[in-house]
Amino acid sequence: MDWQAFALTLKLAATTTVILLAVAVPLAAWLVLGHSRWRGVVEAVAALPLVLPPTVLGFFLLVLLGPRTLIGRGITTLLGHPLAFSFSGLVVGSVIYSLPFAVQPLVAGFAAVETAYVDAARLLGAGPARVVLSLLVPLARRSLLAAAILSFLHTVGEFGVVLMLGGDIPGATRTLSIVLYNQVENFDYTAAARTSAVLFALSVLALGVIYAGWRPRGGRRA
Protein backbone atom coordinates (compact mmCIF):
# COMPACT_ATOMS: atom_id res chain seq x y z
CA MET A 1 0.00 0.00 0.00
CA ASP A 2 1.37 3.40 -1.02
CA TRP A 3 0.69 5.35 2.20
CA GLN A 4 2.31 8.49 0.81
CA ALA A 5 -0.24 8.50 -2.04
CA PHE A 6 -2.99 7.67 0.45
CA ALA A 7 -2.09 10.67 2.62
CA LEU A 8 -1.75 12.93 -0.41
CA THR A 9 -5.17 11.83 -1.70
CA LEU A 10 -6.81 12.60 1.64
CA LYS A 11 -5.00 15.95 1.85
CA LEU A 12 -6.11 16.86 -1.69
CA ALA A 13 -9.70 15.78 -1.02
CA ALA A 14 -9.89 17.64 2.32
CA THR A 15 -8.37 20.85 0.90
CA THR A 16 -10.65 20.71 -2.13
CA THR A 17 -13.73 20.10 0.03
CA VAL A 18 -13.02 23.06 2.32
CA ILE A 19 -12.43 25.41 -0.64
CA LEU A 20 -15.45 24.05 -2.49
CA LEU A 21 -17.80 24.62 0.44
CA ALA A 22 -16.49 28.16 0.86
CA VAL A 23 -17.21 28.79 -2.83
CA ALA A 24 -20.34 26.70 -3.28
CA VAL A 25 -22.38 27.96 -0.28
CA PRO A 26 -22.48 31.62 -1.44
CA LEU A 27 -22.78 30.56 -5.09
CA ALA A 28 -25.73 28.24 -4.39
CA ALA A 29 -27.39 30.89 -2.21
CA TRP A 30 -27.00 33.44 -5.02
CA LEU A 31 -28.50 30.99 -7.51
CA VAL A 32 -31.50 30.37 -5.23
CA LEU A 33 -32.12 33.86 -3.83
CA GLY A 34 -30.75 36.09 -6.57
CA HIS A 35 -32.71 37.75 -9.34
CA SER A 36 -29.89 38.34 -11.80
CA ARG A 37 -30.52 37.44 -15.42
CA TRP A 38 -27.11 35.77 -15.42
CA ARG A 39 -28.26 33.03 -13.06
CA GLY A 40 -28.98 30.56 -15.86
CA VAL A 41 -25.58 31.12 -17.43
CA VAL A 42 -23.74 30.76 -14.12
CA GLU A 43 -25.71 27.61 -13.25
CA ALA A 44 -24.83 26.09 -16.62
CA VAL A 45 -21.13 26.94 -16.23
CA ALA A 46 -21.12 25.47 -12.71
CA ALA A 47 -22.65 22.26 -14.09
CA LEU A 48 -20.25 22.02 -17.04
CA PRO A 49 -17.70 19.73 -15.32
CA LEU A 50 -20.49 17.13 -15.02
CA VAL A 51 -20.57 16.58 -18.78
CA LEU A 52 -17.05 17.60 -19.78
CA PRO A 53 -14.64 14.63 -20.07
CA PRO A 54 -12.11 14.92 -17.21
CA THR A 55 -9.20 14.60 -19.64
CA VAL A 56 -10.54 17.54 -21.65
CA LEU A 57 -10.90 19.63 -18.51
CA GLY A 58 -7.40 18.58 -17.42
CA PHE A 59 -5.99 19.53 -20.81
CA PHE A 60 -7.68 22.94 -20.77
CA LEU A 61 -6.30 23.63 -17.31
CA LEU A 62 -2.84 22.35 -18.28
CA VAL A 63 -2.75 24.84 -21.14
CA LEU A 64 -4.36 27.65 -19.14
CA LEU A 65 -2.00 27.30 -16.19
CA GLY A 66 1.07 26.63 -18.34
CA PRO A 67 3.63 29.07 -19.79
CA ARG A 68 1.66 29.55 -23.04
CA THR A 69 -0.95 31.86 -21.50
CA LEU A 70 -0.80 35.19 -19.76
CA ILE A 71 -2.58 33.69 -16.70
CA GLY A 72 -0.07 30.83 -16.50
CA ARG A 73 2.90 33.18 -16.82
CA GLY A 74 1.40 35.52 -14.22
CA ILE A 75 0.93 32.67 -11.73
CA THR A 76 4.49 31.47 -12.35
CA THR A 77 5.82 34.96 -11.67
CA LEU A 78 3.70 35.26 -8.55
CA LEU A 79 4.43 31.82 -7.04
CA GLY A 80 7.87 31.23 -8.47
CA HIS A 81 6.73 27.99 -10.11
CA PRO A 82 3.98 26.94 -12.51
CA LEU A 83 0.76 25.52 -11.07
CA ALA A 84 0.76 22.61 -13.48
CA PHE A 85 2.46 19.48 -12.06
CA SER A 86 2.16 20.75 -8.48
CA PHE A 87 -0.15 19.99 -5.57
CA SER A 88 -1.63 23.52 -5.78
CA GLY A 89 -2.43 22.92 -9.43
CA LEU A 90 -4.22 19.71 -8.50
CA VAL A 91 -6.30 21.62 -5.94
CA VAL A 92 -7.34 24.16 -8.60
CA GLY A 93 -8.26 21.36 -11.00
CA SER A 94 -10.12 19.40 -8.33
CA VAL A 95 -12.13 22.43 -7.20
CA ILE A 96 -13.30 23.08 -10.76
CA TYR A 97 -13.89 19.40 -11.50
CA SER A 98 -15.96 18.77 -8.36
CA LEU A 99 -17.80 22.11 -8.33
CA PRO A 100 -21.18 20.72 -9.46
CA PHE A 101 -21.02 18.02 -6.79
CA ALA A 102 -20.94 20.74 -4.16
CA VAL A 103 -23.24 23.28 -5.82
CA GLN A 104 -26.10 21.04 -6.90
CA PRO A 105 -26.99 19.48 -3.51
CA LEU A 106 -26.75 22.92 -1.93
CA VAL A 107 -29.01 24.51 -4.56
CA ALA A 108 -31.56 21.74 -3.98
CA GLY A 109 -31.30 22.13 -0.20
CA PHE A 110 -31.52 25.92 -0.18
CA ALA A 111 -34.42 25.92 -2.65
CA ALA A 112 -36.34 23.61 -0.32
CA VAL A 113 -36.20 26.16 2.52
CA GLU A 114 -39.55 27.93 2.67
CA THR A 115 -39.51 31.43 1.21
CA ALA A 116 -41.54 32.63 4.20
CA TYR A 117 -38.55 31.98 6.51
CA VAL A 118 -36.28 34.04 4.25
CA ASP A 119 -38.88 36.83 4.11
CA ALA A 120 -39.22 36.81 7.89
CA ALA A 121 -35.44 36.99 8.35
CA ARG A 122 -35.13 39.87 5.86
CA LEU A 123 -37.90 41.78 7.62
CA LEU A 124 -36.03 41.31 10.89
CA GLY A 125 -33.02 43.01 9.37
CA ALA A 126 -30.93 40.03 8.25
CA GLY A 127 -28.65 40.79 5.32
CA PRO A 128 -27.76 38.21 2.67
CA ALA A 129 -24.83 36.76 4.66
CA ARG A 130 -26.95 36.29 7.79
CA VAL A 131 -29.81 34.78 5.80
CA VAL A 132 -27.37 32.23 4.41
CA LEU A 133 -25.46 31.45 7.60
CA SER A 134 -28.28 31.66 10.16
CA LEU A 135 -31.07 30.22 8.07
CA LEU A 136 -30.21 28.41 4.85
CA VAL A 137 -27.15 26.53 6.09
CA PRO A 138 -28.71 25.17 9.31
CA LEU A 139 -32.01 24.36 7.62
CA ALA A 140 -30.26 22.64 4.71
CA ARG A 141 -27.56 21.00 6.84
CA ARG A 142 -28.16 17.60 5.34
CA SER A 143 -27.53 19.03 1.86
CA LEU A 144 -24.37 20.64 3.21
CA LEU A 145 -23.18 17.27 4.49
CA ALA A 146 -24.05 15.63 1.16
CA ALA A 147 -22.17 18.36 -0.72
CA ALA A 148 -19.10 17.91 1.50
CA ILE A 149 -19.04 14.13 1.20
CA LEU A 150 -19.72 14.06 -2.54
CA SER A 151 -16.99 16.65 -3.13
CA PHE A 152 -14.56 14.67 -0.98
CA LEU A 153 -15.31 11.35 -2.65
CA HIS A 154 -15.31 12.77 -6.14
CA THR A 155 -11.87 14.22 -5.51
CA VAL A 156 -10.61 10.96 -3.99
CA GLY A 157 -11.64 9.08 -7.13
CA GLU A 158 -10.43 11.69 -9.60
CA PHE A 159 -8.13 10.38 -12.32
CA GLY A 160 -8.31 12.17 -15.67
CA VAL A 161 -7.77 15.68 -14.37
CA VAL A 162 -4.99 14.54 -12.02
CA LEU A 163 -3.15 12.69 -14.76
CA MET A 164 -3.39 15.54 -17.29
CA LEU A 165 -2.66 18.37 -14.89
CA GLY A 166 -0.46 16.75 -12.25
CA GLY A 167 1.25 13.85 -13.90
CA ASP A 168 2.70 11.26 -11.56
CA ILE A 169 5.09 12.91 -9.11
CA PRO A 170 5.45 10.95 -5.84
CA GLY A 171 4.57 13.08 -2.82
CA ALA A 172 3.30 15.96 -4.98
CA THR A 173 0.71 14.72 -7.48
CA ARG A 174 0.63 10.93 -7.22
CA THR A 175 -2.79 10.09 -5.80
CA LEU A 176 -4.33 6.68 -5.13
CA SER A 177 -6.05 6.63 -8.53
CA ILE A 178 -2.69 7.11 -10.25
CA VAL A 179 -1.14 4.42 -8.03
CA LEU A 180 -3.95 2.04 -8.99
CA TYR A 181 -3.41 2.78 -12.69
CA ASN A 182 0.33 2.15 -12.32
CA GLN A 183 -0.28 -1.12 -10.47
CA VAL A 184 -2.56 -2.39 -13.23
CA GLU A 185 -0.06 -1.26 -15.87
CA ASN A 186 2.55 -3.37 -14.06
CA PHE A 187 0.18 -6.36 -13.79
CA ASP A 188 0.43 -6.17 -9.99
CA TYR A 189 -3.20 -7.11 -9.49
CA THR A 190 -2.77 -8.00 -5.80
CA ALA A 191 -1.62 -4.46 -4.96
CA ALA A 192 -4.27 -3.03 -7.30
CA ALA A 193 -6.94 -4.99 -5.42
CA ARG A 194 -5.73 -3.54 -2.09
CA THR A 195 -5.75 0.01 -3.47
CA SER A 196 -9.21 -0.52 -4.98
CA ALA A 197 -10.46 -1.93 -1.68
CA VAL A 198 -9.31 1.23 0.15
CA LEU A 199 -11.04 3.49 -2.38
CA PHE A 200 -14.15 1.31 -2.27
CA ALA A 201 -14.24 1.35 1.54
CA LEU A 202 -13.94 5.15 1.61
CA SER A 203 -16.90 5.45 -0.76
CA VAL A 204 -19.10 3.01 1.16
CA LEU A 205 -18.27 4.65 4.48
CA ALA A 206 -19.09 8.12 3.20
CA LEU A 207 -22.34 7.09 1.54
CA GLY A 208 -23.27 5.28 4.75
CA VAL A 209 -22.85 8.55 6.63
CA ILE A 210 -25.13 10.35 4.15
CA TYR A 211 -27.90 7.78 3.90
CA ALA A 212 -27.97 6.02 7.25
CA GLY A 213 -25.60 7.17 9.93
CA TRP A 214 -26.63 10.80 10.21
CA ARG A 215 -30.01 12.26 10.95
CA PRO A 216 -30.77 15.86 11.79
CA ARG A 217 -31.89 16.35 15.39
CA GLY A 218 -35.65 16.23 15.72
CA GLY A 219 -36.18 14.33 12.47
CA ARG A 220 -37.04 15.99 9.21
CA ARG A 221 -37.03 19.74 8.86
CA ALA A 222 -40.45 21.31 9.32
Q: In the stretch 201-220, what mask flags binding to another protein with x, by CB under 8 A?
A: -----------------x--
Alpha helices in 34-127 (DSSP H): 39-51, 54-64, 70-79, 87-111, 115-123
Q: Does 142 bind another protein (CB under 8 A)?
A: no
DSSP code of residue 1 = -
Does residue number 159 form part of the binding site for another protein (CB under 8 A)? no
Closer to another protein by CB, 12 or 135: give it. 135
Minimal distance, residue 157 CB to another protein, in Å: 33
By the rule CB under 8 A, 123 interacts with another protein: yes
Q: Which is nearer to another protein, 11 or 221 (CB)?
A: 221
Query: Rounded to whole angstroms, what are the CA distances from 120 to 58, 116, 125, 126?
Result: 45, 6, 9, 9
Determine, following the binding rule CB under 8 A, whether residue 122 of this chain makes contact with another protein.
yes
**Residue 138 within binding range of another protein, rule CB under 8 A:** yes
- Mark residues 96-115: x for contact with another protein by CB under 8 A, - for none: ------------------x-
**Cβ pair 184, 77 in contact under 8 A:** no
**Site residue total, another protein (CB under 8 A):** 19
Q: Is 11 in the site for another protein (CB under 8 A)?
A: no
Cβ closer to another protein: 22 or 120? Answer: 120
Let me know: does 49 contact 96? Beta carbons within 8 Å.
yes
Phi, psi angle pair for 127, to nearest 5°: -80, 180
Angle between helices 3-33 and 141-156 (to 10 degrees): 140
73 contacts another protein (rule: CB under 8 A): no
Binding to another protein (CB under 8 A) within 21-60 occurs at none
Please tell me the distance from the alpha carbon of residue 176 to that of residue 101, in angstroms, as a whole number: 20
Angle at 132 between CA 127 and CA 133, to 5 degrees: 100
Binding site for another protein (CB under 8 A): 114, 116-117, 119-127, 134-135, 138-139, 218, 221-222
